[in-house]
Amino acid sequence: MRDYYTVKINMPAGIVSPGTLQTILTLAHDAKVRTVRFGARQQLLMTVHYEDMRFLEKDLKKHQIVYEVNTEQYPNIISSYCGEDVFRTGAWLRESEYHTVLDQFDYQPRLKVNLSDSNQSFTPFFTGNLNFIASSEPHFWYLYVRPKQSNTLFRWPTLIYVNDLGRLAKAVEEAMLDQGHRDEEQLYKAVTAEQSFITQPATDEVHLPEFSLPYYEGFNRYGQRSWLGLYRRDEQFSIAFLLDVCAVCLTTRIGELCVTPWKSLIIKGIEEKDRAAWSYILGKHNINVRHAANELAWQTEDHTDEGTQLKHYVLRYFEKHDTRTFGLCFGIQTRPKSEVFGSVLVRKRPLLQIGQLALISVYDVYYTDAFNPNSRTYHLFEKGLLKIHLPNQINRLCRTFNTRRAQERTAIVRLEPEKPEPTFVPVSIVYQCPHCYTVYDEQYGDVLNGIPAGTAFSELPGDYCCSTCDAPKADLTEVEQEINTLPV
């Protein structure tokens, strides 16, 4: 039996230039690697046969590409940069600000560092050891510290100025790992005793948004351009496809590709004139970009197919029973010390074990406080489930979540009894895209596609497509639209 090595290449903040990625993929292809993955911390992962490993290492070193083999000594810096612009976020945090922070990390962090906009819910806030979150005060950041191998989370006493983030992160890392400080007060004293930082008082806790995972696949317009989200069911991207992606980026002057924590790719800044080139590449490699939203809301562990297979086992049940999962995301943990992001967590454990061999495995299902995936507190929902019973119990938990959310919203409505009860009356028929839920209303037409107001759906040209995701006209379905009218 042949031995394999797992090679990890960090892409700080999930950002990589097409030229750099092209070089890495070409070297990997020369080492007989044919597919790669993206990790939950926005890094590139590949499996290499042992006889090819020495040639790949030689080439990576020649091109000064930093890598790790079978280790996690240097976790990647992850960020919400991948969602900037495409999923509108904060008032002041922009792409240039992320680059300002990244330029300060002139060392490889040994701690997990997260950089997050406080107004987004696409990327996790607290999965790192050093979790920097943009505050409402321009150019100042919160810091939430979670010591290694701990679930304890505490807020740094002050807000940190953007130009000091890298220096502070390095000082905290040295105090924590080299000097052994883990207590909140001791750590703060050790870091600030010898260095000064530009700070402001942090009087309040950070205010995080309600979790809602945006649909991150396919072509979507923003402004005068489009972005493309790429997801693969088996989490494997062929090198041949990615090399074509890099080539199109270089040809059309797209300077960055963004890896997401959902093990997918986002390509921003696609000009309308270049859409045909991208469509050609997708067709050439038979890449589907029309997956259901509930399929995209899962996070599995790196370096294993077991979690992915279990995910699809549960999804088949969801599809059969038409389960609603909006507002939830799911994590599958098959190894004891791995970490995944989710408001619903499935943990595998051995029921009967002899040495390192698990003879019978069962699953425990947990959910977070208020079903917020950024919570660090998990509550047990069901324990010791066999695999055959797991989908039904997760479905039951989804129904519990939906019932609880409906009750909360009912309670909110009842707080304002002075407002008259709304009456819903059907007023018109509209046509809705089943993929992104964009509506075509004959009354208003479609400005983006040059369709004037008053144009009947039947009069739309045959090549008409959804203004948001480019689904064909035939996919749009007729639905009854209601308006909310208040009695005078």
Chain segment 192-239, per-residue pLDDT in tens: 998 999 999 998 889 888 899 999 999 999 888 999 999 999 999 999
CATH assignment of 423-485, among 3.30.360.10, 3.30.70.1140, 2.20.28.10, 1.20.1440.230 = 2.20.28.10
Task: Please give the pLDDT value at position 462.
Answer: 83
Locate all alpha helices (DSSP H) within 258-305, ordered by sequence.
275-284, 293-296
Task: Please give the pLDDT value at position 1.
Answer: 41
Q: List every span in the chain annotated with CATH 3.30.413.
A: 295-414
Q: In the predicted model, what is the mean pLDDT of residues 102-107?
A: 95
Q: Would you say 250 and 19 are in contact if contact means Cβ atoms under 8 Å apart? A: yes
Task: Please give the pLDDT value at position 411.
Answer: 58
Residue 436: pLDDT band (50, 70, 90) is: low
Task: Please give the pLDDT value at position 482.
Answer: 53
The C-alpha atoms of residue 394 and residue 383 are separated, in whole angstroms, by: 12
Task: Please give the pLDDT value at position 487.
Answer: 41
> In percent, how much of the chain has pLDDT > 70?
93
Of 21-30, 176-185, 300-309, which one has max mean pLDDT? Answer: 21-30
Q: Cα-Cα-Cα-Cα dihedral of 74, 80, 86, 88, to 10°? A: -170
H or E, element range at 250? helix 239-251
* The two structure tokens encoding residue 374: 């950024």
* Range of lowest pLDDT (397-406, 426-435, 455-464): 426-435
| Domain 295-414 of CATH type 3.90.1200 | no
Task: Please give the pLDDT value at position 485.
Answer: 43
Question: What is the biggest distance separating any 2 CA atoms in the chain, rounded to whole angstroms?
Answer: 80
Length of the chain: 488
pLDDT tens by residue, 74-97:
999 999 999 998 886 667 888 899
pLDDT tens by residue, 276-318:
999 999 999 999 998 999 999 999 999 889 999 999 999 999 9
Residue 425: pLDDT band (50, 70, 90) is: very low
Q: Would you say 12 and 74 are in contact if contact means Cβ atoms under 8 Å apart? A: no
The C-alpha atoms of residue 201 and residue 184 are separated, in whole angstroms, by: 16
The C-alpha atoms of residue 85 and residue 336 are separated, in whole angstroms, by: 37
The C-alpha atoms of residue 322 and residue 320 are separated, in whole angstroms, by: 6
* Entry pTM: 0.82
Instruction: Determine how β-strand 15-16 pairs with β-strand 257-259.
Output: antiparallel
* The two structure tokens encoding residue 118: 């406080």
Does the pLDDT at position 351 exceed 90?
Answer: no
The C-alpha atoms of residue 53 and residue 336 are separated, in whole angstroms, by: 29
Q: In the predicted model, what is the mean pLDDT of residues 113-120?
A: 95
Instruction: Please give the sequence-ordered ranges of beta strands (E in DSSP) within 44-169, or none if there are none.
Output: 44-49, 68-69, 78-79, 113-116, 130-134, 140-145, 154-155, 158-161
pLDDT tens by residue, 140-178:
999 999 998 888 999 999 999 999 999 999 999 999 999
Q: Exposure string (b/e) for 39-52, b if CB count within 10 Å is 16 or more? A: bbbbbbbbebeeeb
Task: Please give the pLDDT value at position 424.
Answer: 47
User: How many CB atoms sit inside 10 A of residue 385's CB?
Assistant: 18
Report residue 331: phi and psi, to 5°.
Answer: -125, 140
Task: Please give the pLDDT value at position 340.
Answer: 92
Does the pLDDT at position 427 exceed 60?
Answer: no
Of 380 and 358, more confident: 380
Residue 483: pLDDT band (50, 70, 90) is: low
> In percent, how much of the chain has pLDDT > 90?
71
Task: Please give the pLDDT value at position 92.
Answer: 87
Locate all alpha helices (DSSP H) within 114-208, ordered by sequence.
165-173, 184-194
Task: Please give the pLDDT value at position 98.
Answer: 95
Task: Please give the pLDDT value at position 484.
Answer: 46
Locate all alpha helices (DSSP H) within 18-133, ordered by sequence.
18-30, 50-62, 95-102
Chain-centre distance of CA 419, in angstroms?
A: 39
The C-alpha atoms of residue 388 and residue 112 are separated, in whole angstroms, by: 36
* The two structure tokens encoding residue 294: 């509930």
Does the pLDDT at position 6 exceed 80?
Answer: yes
For residue 362, give the nearest of 353, 345, 349, 379 by alpha carbon.
Answer: 349
